[in-house]
């Protein structure tokens, strides 16, 4: 039987995949912190998350998160995913290329009172760069 925290992750993934920022934010604490480690971005609070994800969704309007596996307990979670999309807008340090991407990643995070309190996203930045800008010959 799925725990409430498993259900919370499912709802978060659905909201991210539909680019529904308000729904995403409703699943997070007011003081949430999301860190995108490869981009060196730290999104603090709901305003920070809204700003950061608005940028991601603009850069890849077809952005998707495909969960591969996850584990949860009362306080924390770990999830393995595949991020994919088409690079139609600028990302930090990567001007738009129009190329598609599909990269593996994972997130480690915490729950508090039935909401997402924080998470750190790690993903394969070398593969993203190869797919978006190619390799030098």
What is the domain extent for residue 111?
4-133
Q: How many structural domains are present in the chain?
A: 1
For 12-39, how does the pLDDT look when each residue is reduced to its tens digit (9 = 90+)? 999 999 999 999 999 999 999 999 999 9
Across the range 43-54, mean pLDDT stands at 97
Q: Which residue carries 């009172």 as its tokens?
A: 113
Q: Exposure of 92 by Cβ count < 10 A (0-12 exposed, 13-18 middle, 19+ buried)?
A: exposed
Give the pLDDT confidence score for residue 91 in this predicted structure.
Answer: 87
Q: How many CB atoms lie within 10 A of CB 9?
A: 21
β-partners of residue 91 are 94
Q: What angle do CA 20, 22, 23 make, to 5 degrees?
A: 70
């Amino acid at each position: 039987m799925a725990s409430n925290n498993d259900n919370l992750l499912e709802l978060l993934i659905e909201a991210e995949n539909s680019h529904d920022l308000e729904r995403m934010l409703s699943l997070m604490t007011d003081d949430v912190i999301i860190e995108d480690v490869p981009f060196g971005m730290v999104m603090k609070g709901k305003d920070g998350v809204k700003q950061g994800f608005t940028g991601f969704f603009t850069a890849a309007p077809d952005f998707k998160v495909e969960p591969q596996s996850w584990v949860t307990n009362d306080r924390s979670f770990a999830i393995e995913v595949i991020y994919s999309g088409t690079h139609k807008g600028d990302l930090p340090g990567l001007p738009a290329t129009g190329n598609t991407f599909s990269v593996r990643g994972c997130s480690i995070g915490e729950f508090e009172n039935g909401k997402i309190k924080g998470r750190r996203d790690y993903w394969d930045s070398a593969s993203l760069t190869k797919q978006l800008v190619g390799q030098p010959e």
